[in-house]
């Protein structure tokens, strides 16, 4: 009886001590989750998620206050990556992804005010004072900030055209 109690006590103390030591030596300096999440987001600070910028969005994600599908420009790819990082099995099949868009400037409405230029965080808009602007479609990631500031509503968000190069077969539809 005494031996039983004794051995169990010794084991408890030893293992507890080991765990405590391990916790101290292997401790992570600070929660890197927020940083890692931030690195996954596009970083364009577009604000479409409702947060001021990507850092704030990452913080909200880390606290579990925001859904992984929060980032429209990131689309499904980012949502999946975030879900994986956070260990959430997000049901992305329900998540109707907003079709990828790019900004299109109506040349007749552009007055060359350059406001959109300043707003664009990826420098995708070309133009100068009093000169018509155009968007480099490859660089634009569709955050839509420029469309919001355009005084003439001359910027519209257009869906990226479907091309043969990007097309792929749909998933087979099978029911037995």
Partner 1 sequence: MKFYSIRGGVHPNYRKDLTSERPIVAMPLPERLFIPLQQHIGAPAEALVEAGDRVRKGQLIARSQGVVSAPKHAPTSGVIEAVSPLTAPHPSGLAQATIILVPDGKDEWASLPDPIAEPFDALPAAICERVAQAGIVGLGGAAFPSAVKLGLGRQHRLEILLINGAECEPYLTCDDRLMRERAKEIIDGARLMAHALGVPRVIVAVEANKPQAIESMTRAAEHFAEVSVIAVPVQYPTGSAHHLVLALTGRETPAAKRTADVGVVVHNVATARAVQQAIRHGRPLTHRVVTVSGGAMRAPNNIEAPIGAPVGSLVDFCGGFSTPPRRLVNGGPMMGEPLASLDVPVVKGTTGILALTAEEVGEQPASPCIRCGSCISVCPCGLSPVELAALIRRDRIDVAGKLGVMDCMACGSCAWACPSHLPLVQYFNYAKGRLNAEALAQRKIERTRTLVEAHNLRQEKAVAASQAVAAARKTSQPRLQATEVVE
Partner 2 sequence: MNPPLPDKSGPFTHAPNSVQQTMLTVLLALSPATLFNAYLFGWPAILLFVVTVASCITIEAVCLVLAGRKVQAGLADGSGVLTGWLLAMSLPPWAPWWIGVLGAVFAIALAKHAFGGLGQNVFNPAMVARVALLVSFPVVMTAWVSPQPLFSAGAPGLAEAAAITFGEYSVDAVSAATALGHVKTELSRGISVTQSMPQVPGLIDMALGLRAGSFGETSAVLILLGGMYLMARRVISWHIPATVLGSLFLLGTLFHAVNPARFADGSFHMFSGASFLGAFFIATDYVTSPVSKTGQLIFGIGCGVLAWVIRTFAGYPEGMAFAVLLMNALAPIIDQYTRPRLFGRGRDGQPLPLKEDA
Pick the closest to residue 39 from 78, 70, 91 (CA basis): 78
By CB under 8 A, what part of segment 130-149 binds partner 1? 139, 141
Q: Is 149 annotated as a binding residue?
A: no
Q: Residue 109 or residue 127: which is nearer to partner 1 going by CB? A: 127
Q: Token pair for residue 104?
A: 């299109």
Tell me the C-alpha distance between 176 and 12, whole Å. 56
Contact 109, 95 (CB under 8 A): no
Q: Residue 24 or residue 171: which is nearer to partner 2 going by CB? A: 171
> What would the x/- binding string for partner 1 be over residues 21 to 40, using CB under 8 A?
--------------------
Partner from partner 2, partner 1, none binding residue 96, C-beta < 5-8 Å depending on class = none
Q: How many CB atoms lie within 10 A of CB 108?
A: 8
Q: Which stretch binds partner 2 (CB under 8 A): 14-22, 27-35, 125-133, 168-176?
A: 168-176
Q: Is 146 annotated as a binding residue?
A: yes
Q: Is 120 annotated as a binding residue?
A: yes
> Which residue bears the tokens 């109707």?
96
Residue from 121, 126, 127, 132 binding partner 1 (CB under 8 A): 121
Q: Is 71 annotated as a binding residue?
A: yes
Tell me the C-alpha distance between 36 and 49, whole Å. 18
Q: Is 129 annotated as a binding residue?
A: no
**Helix or strand (DSSP H, E) at 86:** helix 75-86
Do the bridges between strand 125-126 and strand 155-159 make them parallel or antiparallel, or are there none, so unpaired?
unpaired
Contact 78, 71 (CB under 8 A): yes
Name the site residues for partner 1 (rule: CB under 8 A).
42-45, 73-78, 80, 93, 120-124, 139, 141, 162-164, 166-172, 174, 176
Residues placed in the known binding site for [4Fe-4S] cluster: 46, 49, 54, 71, 110, 113, 116, 120, 140, 143, 146, 150
Q: Which residues contact partner 2 (rule: CB under 8 A)?
A: 169, 172, 176
């Amino acid at each position: 009886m005494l031996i039983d109690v004794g051995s169990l006590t010794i084991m408890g103390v030893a293992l507890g001590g080991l765990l405590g030591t391990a916790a101290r030596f292997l401790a992570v300096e600070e929660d890197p989750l927020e940083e890692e999440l931030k690195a996954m987001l596009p970083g364009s600070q577009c604000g479409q998620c409702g947060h001021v910028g990507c850092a704030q969005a990452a913080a909200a994600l880390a606290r579990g206050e925001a859904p992984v599908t929060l980032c429209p420009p990131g689309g499904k790819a980012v949502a999946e990556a975030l879900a994986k990082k956070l260990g959430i099995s997000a049901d992305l099949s329900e998540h109707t992804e907003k079709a990828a868009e790019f900004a299109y400037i109506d040349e007749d409405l552009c007055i060359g005010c350059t406001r959109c230029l300043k707003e664009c965080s990826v420098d995708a808009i070309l133009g100068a004072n009093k000169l018509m602007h155009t968007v480099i479609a490859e660089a634009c990631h569709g955050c839509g900030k420029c469309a919001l500031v355009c005084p003439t509503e001359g910027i519209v968000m257009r869906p990226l055209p479907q091309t043969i190069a990007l097309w792929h077969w749909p998933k087979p539809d099978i029911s037995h």
